[in-house]
Every structure is written in C-alpha cells, then in structure tokens.
Amino acid sequence: MQYIRWAQKARSDHMELLKSGYSSQEEQLPKWIRTVLKLGRYGVAAQALIQLALEFPALFCPMLVKAVEAPSPVIVPREGVSLHAAVENIMGERSQEYHSRLFSLVSPRKQKDVEKWFRNRCPDNLLVHAEMQLLSYYDQRPEVEPTLRFIGVGKKSCYLCKTFLSFPHPSFKVTACHWKVYTRWITPPAANERVFSFYRGYTAELTQMLEAEVRRDLQGRPLSRPKQCQYPADSSAGVSMTGLSGLEIQSATSRASPSIRIELMKHFLEEGEASGTRESKGKARITDLHSTLTAPSIVSLERISDPADKGVTSSAIGHSSWHDKSSPLAIVLHFTRPGDAKNRELVCLADIFDSSTGYLSYDKLIKILANYTGFGLAFNKEKEFLVFNGQLVVENERQFIACVQHLYNADHLNAEVVVCSREDCRFITDMRDVETQTEEQTKSGSHKKCEVGFCRSASG
C-alpha cells in the first residue's frame, strides 16, 4: 500500500516534474514512469469507489455480486491454415498480385518459409473474452436481463468485443475500447438456437467488416516494411463510471431526481480515454468528488458549448439553441388530451431543468402543464394523470423519474403523452386507439415508439 501511496503522490503532485525531461504525451514517456503513473491511478480508483459508496449508498445497496465461470478455450488445429488460401479467399482472383505486399511484412529471413511463419502466428486455441462471457450469461438467463445495458471494464474492450456488443441483439455499451484485434477472440457459446442464429449472423457480418479492412490495407500498403505502430494502452486503471450513466442516485439525507447528470460526471472522474492526461490539465483530485457531484456550475445535464461555437446564442443552462442528442435534455414530450386537437403542450427536458440543484424539476413540469393561457392543457394533478406513449402511466414524481429514465435508456428522444382523467379510466382499459395513433405517428417520423408493455404501479 505504501508504494501505491507514493505512486499516487507522484502522479498528483509531481506530474510536471516527471514529464519535464520527456515528451508531453504520456504514451511516449519511459516505461518506468508510465508504470508509476498507472500504479498511482489504482490508488485514485480505490478512493473514488470508497467516496462514492459513502456519498451515495443507494448505488451499492442492494447489490448482487455474481461470479461468471469462464468457458474452456476452444482448440483449433493449425494444420489446415494457409496464407495463400486466406489471401485468395479475401482478394479473390487478384490474390496473386498482393503476395508481394504481404512479403513486406516479413523479414527476409522469414520469407523463405512464409507459410510456416503464418501458421506459427495463428493461434491454436481461442478464448472467450470477459465481455462475451457476460453476454452469454444474460442470454442464458433472460429473467435477469439488466435494465441498464452497460459493462464496466478495468481493461479496455478490444475492437471485436465492442463491435459485437453494439449489434442490435446484445446492444451493450462498454467503458472504452483500445481498438486492437486479437486473433484468439471467439464468440461466446450460444444458449439456444435463437441466440445461436443471432451470433452466427453477427459473426458473419463482423467477418465481412474485417475482410473489407484487410482489402483496403493490402491495396494501400507500401512495399516497404511498415514502422512499428503505437497502440493505446489496454488499461489505464482509471475510475470507471460505466453503468452509472443515467442512474437515479439517492443520498442518505436528500431525495434526488433522475441523476442522468452522472453521464457528465464521467468527464471529471475518468482518465480521459484518448490522451490519459486529465490530471496534467486540471490536476483534479478525489477530494473534489463531493463538490463536483453537488455543484451545478461544474456538472450539468447538457453539453456546455464553447461561446465561440456557431449557432449558440445563449450560455444559460437549458436555453442553448440546440441540445446534443446524447444529452437527456434533448428529450421532448408532446402532451395532448384525447379527442382534443386544440389544446396541447410541448416540453423539452431542458425547460424543467433546475440549475440550482442540477436535477429535473417535476414541480416545474406540473406548473407548465397547469397553464391554460392560449392553448394550454390546464392540467390538474389531483384529478388527472399522464400516459407516456400509450403505455406508461405516470401519477407522481417517482413514476415520472422512472419514465424519463426509461426514455433515456432506450434512446427515445420524443414521447407522446396523453392527459387522462382519474374519473374516466376507459382510456386505460382499452389502449388500442392510442397504439394505432402512435404507430401512424411513428411511420410519419414524428416520434419513436417505446416497445414496452403497459405497466402501472399498484401503490402509485
């Protein structure tokens, strides 16, 4: 532990001194300095975890930790591997002309038996990466499918894992990717024929993508041996906030609205996946974590644009001209009443963002809907409730928070909301008309329909 503390102090207090005799880019520093900096990040990560648990216990309790057993390596024979056959399969009739380009990758000594060199570089066993193991675990247990489809990784995901997880069926997101391709990578075992069909289709698509990259590389490669490429580090040991994006956090002393702002908190805590030089710019320390979580001037729900950006006419939070689609503030709610084509309301989440607290304000929403001026709705929260996208009933602040979180998790930017009276619940017993209207609006491109079942809390 003492070594970790020393390394942490070196990273936080002596970064500029360590870099003074070397390049400003951390990747080009001597290996011993990179090792010290990485060791220091482990100390920062541990303190961040403890601090987060103390400030936001709701994130950690209840929590279920489940070990996933790794499958055995898949043995593949090398005997049938042929460089000539591989090039012919990828390049077709033009394979012969690209052999000379491939020879540029091999030293003259190895060119005498390039086929043997190629076979030795091919793996004889394949491994299922950790991300793929988690995917297989959830595919085999659909009853425990996670609501927030994020995978936190201490070691950055490889290109194949990230790409495979981004396909529609898994649709998981990971912390970061180092973009390397490992030849021992393999898809996870399939739970059933349906999952196997997904995996087979995605594997074929992934293979086509890789072959297309190989073709472009062969066609553009010079005849001389390429220089050694510098790849980003597999692991930065930074503080991972994966899975916290969009979570509702409640402290022990205060009730929180949807803390989707954790999405922006990552920029303070994480190491800056591209450059790894966060501390050299801001020298932020873990002691600043609490102030960052509570200070709206630092953490905002929306992307704070540079004043020099074109098209931005106001720097006030929640009132910029446009909002980034990745920000929850971009979600727009369209409120109507059944059978009333006149009275309606449009509310952007930026309109109900309270800059003094950093949270969405349910009271602001009710105040906007209660307005009857012009074509307002004159909403009465004591006698009426809301139905989002013809399926999700919202009667109070808790349900509104959950509904907004659902829209954000599902990447739905627009939602149709109908105001209904508590005295007339026929709208709830028969949703066909609303669903038909929603489908027609979806076809016209006015909004995206939420593909979820109807649900309503018995307790309200």
What pLDDT is attached to residue 185? 94
Q: What is the 3-state secondary structure (H, E, C) of 373-422?
A: CCCCCCCCCCCEEEEECCCEEECCHHHHHHHHHHHHHCCCCEEEEEEEEC
Whole-number Å distance between alpha carbons of 338 and 418: 7
Q: Does residue 62 have a cis bond before it (omega within 30 degrees)?
A: yes
What pLDDT is attached to residue 416? 92
What pLDDT is attached to residue 406? 87
What pLDDT is attached to residue 333? 93
At residue 129's C-alpha, the angle toward residues 177 and 125, to 5°, is 125
Residues of the chain with pLDDT under 50: 26, 237-321, 427, 429, 432, 446-460
Tokens representing 324 are: 């980034």
What pLDDT is attached to residue 149? 82
Q: Are strands 353-354 and 74-75 parallel, antiparallel or unpaired?
A: unpaired
Q: How do residues 375-389 score in pLDDT, each as one tens digit?
A: 778 888 888 999 998
What pLDDT is attached to residue 426? 54
What pLDDT is attached to residue 231? 60
Q: Are strands 332-337 and 340-348 parallel, antiparallel or unpaired?
A: antiparallel
What pLDDT is attached to residue 355? 66
Q: If you search the block for the tokens 């800056």, which residue do you land on?
A: 272
The terminus-to-terminus CA distance of the chain in angstroms comes to 50
Q: Do you know the residue count of the chain?
A: 460
The CB-based long-range contact list for 64-68 (8 Å cut-off, 24+ gap) reads 66/137, 68/133, 68/134, 68/137
What pLDDT is attached to residue 298? 27
Rg, Å, the chain Cα set: 27
DSSP letters along 187-252, please?
A: PPPPSSHHHHHHHHHHHHHHHHHHHHHHHHHHHH--SSPPPPP-PPPS-------TT-TT-----S
pTM, two decimal places: 0.47
Whole-number Å distance between alpha carbons of 425 and 385: 10
What pLDDT is attached to residue 163? 92
